[in-house]
Structure 1
Amino acid sequence: MYRDTPDPWHLAERWYERRKYDLTVASLPLPRYRRAFEPACSVGELTVRLAERCDRVVACDRVESAVATARSRTSALPHVEVHAMTIPGQWPPGRFDLVVLSELLYYFDTPTLRSVLDLAVDALEPGGTLVTAHWNHAVPDHHGTGSTIARTVGSVPGLTLTADHRETDFVLQVYERTSPDGTAAPSPAAREGLV
């Protein structure tokens, strides 16, 4: 798809996409993150938004031309690195306090999906944030929809659902990794002493 155009889904142009990305970033429970990972970053539209809230962003895509476009789009952001990588076979080293899995998980069969989710949870620091956002309509190439992905992610041990935004077209969820003692991170209001 990238052979004929640098942005086959028109991610930079469509209001639907821009709104979804803005909602994704607005759903983050912390004002700032230390290190984020965004696999399947495509042309970097969400990457740029994440960079505003993160000290460091590691993004990747398996399509070289998408990586080139994302690198160009983020070239003025020295705290963003974009790699050609294919998950789950390739995964960046180190820990993250934010992992964003957007428009990605329905491409995987069940065993691969479980592997990706295990890697994401293992890479998250205790109290770290996992965000998932997925198209909620059936597509022949997809192994599910936003709703079916939500059920699968919700069954993963070690995660606590903190936000669940559902629309006809997509499902956006935010999870926090529970601490080793089983406690969840405080809510944004609790962090500010409001409750």
Structure 2
Amino acid sequence: MEKPTKSLDAEFFNEMYQRNEDPWDFENSPYEREKYEATLRAIPNPVYDNAFEIGCSNGVLSEKLARRCKHLLAVDASEIATENARKRLVDFQSVEVREMIVPNNFPNENFDLILFSEVGYFLSREDLAITKDKMINALLPKGHLLMVHWTPIVEEFPLTGDEVHELFIESAGNEKSDPLIHLYGRREDQYRLDLFEKKPEL
């Protein structure tokens, strides 16, 4: 099977959530539970003023993340997923859930934390590059960007988790033109995690 070259659209995800409200078993999977714990441990600051979660799905991780954010914007491409997330997060006044497809839509805000988890490989290489630039521009100086992605190859996804992360690694370095610093990387059997910090403005 030849991998797709275009980003997967909202219809793809809505059809998936119509078949199963929790298609990746976020609620009960030991794998997801361990990965969430690793994700939260990797976030450096105890509290963030304004965080942005891209690909919130049904809000299981959003609920954990919200406890460390004064404001959290959680978005997903699926109408069904965002509705489920709103129900889950109804008691968290600091959380705003929006239906949003990146990079076509992107918030006009700045963030001190951006979480990009299990969504990058749904994008084409071109759309991922655009998303990366928008994320970096939206990130405040010394703000953190945390990425977590499944690494095994999935034929129906345009990219692999490693391809997603390596594109961001290319923007992290010692050159003045490199906007990011790579703070931390971790690789497990089925996922990788990378933490970046935006360089302070000169």
1:34-183 alignment to 2 at 5 Å?
Answer: 34-156=49-171, 157-181=178-202
| RMSD between aligned residues | 1.0
RCO (CA 8 Å, sep 6+): is it higher in 1 or 2? 2
The alpha carbon displacement at 1:99 in A equals 0.5
How far apart, in 2, do the equivalents of 1:165 and 1:146 lie? 13
Q: Shift of residue 139 of structure 1?
A: 0.2
Give how far 1:42 is off.
0.5
| Alignment gaps of 5+ in structure 1 | 182-195
In structure 2, give the amino acid aligned to 1:165: R
Q: State the alpha-carbon separation in 2 of the partners of residues 69 and 18 from structure 1.
A: 19
Which consecutive residues of structure 2, in runs of 5 or more, have no partner in the other structure?
1-15, 172-177
Alignment partners' CA distance in 1, 2:47 and 2:40 = 11
1:92 CA displacement: 1.3
Q: Percent of counterpart pairs with the same letter? A: 34
Q: Deviations over 1:110-133 (max 9, x none)?
A: 111100000100000000000100
Q: Residue type of the partner of 2:43?
A: L
Q: CA deviation at 1:108?
A: 1.3
CA deviations on 1:79-138 (whole Å, 9 max, x unpaired) are 001011111111112100000000011111111110000010000000000010000100
Q: Distance in 2 between matches of 1:169 and 1:90?
A: 30
After superposition, the C-alpha distances for 1:123-161 in whole angstroms (9 at most, x for unaligned) are 000000001000010001223322222211101230111
Structure 1 position 5, deviation (Å): 2.0
Give the letter aligned to residue 188 of structure 2.
Answer: E
1:27-49 CA-to-partner distances (Å, cap 9, x unmatched) read 01111100000111100111111
Helix, strand or coil at the partner of 2:19: coil
TM-score (ref. length: structure 2):
0.87
For 1:77 and 1:94, how far apart are their aligned partners in 2?
A: 20
- In structure 1, C-alpha distance between the alignment counterparts of 2:52 and 2:198, rounded to whole Å: 15
SS in 2 for 1:59: strand
Task: Report the TM-score, using the length of structure 1 for normalisation.
Answer: 0.90
User: What is the match of residue 12 of structure 2?
Assistant: none
Count of residues paired in the alignment: 181
Tell me the amino acid that sits aligned with residue 198 of structure 2.
R
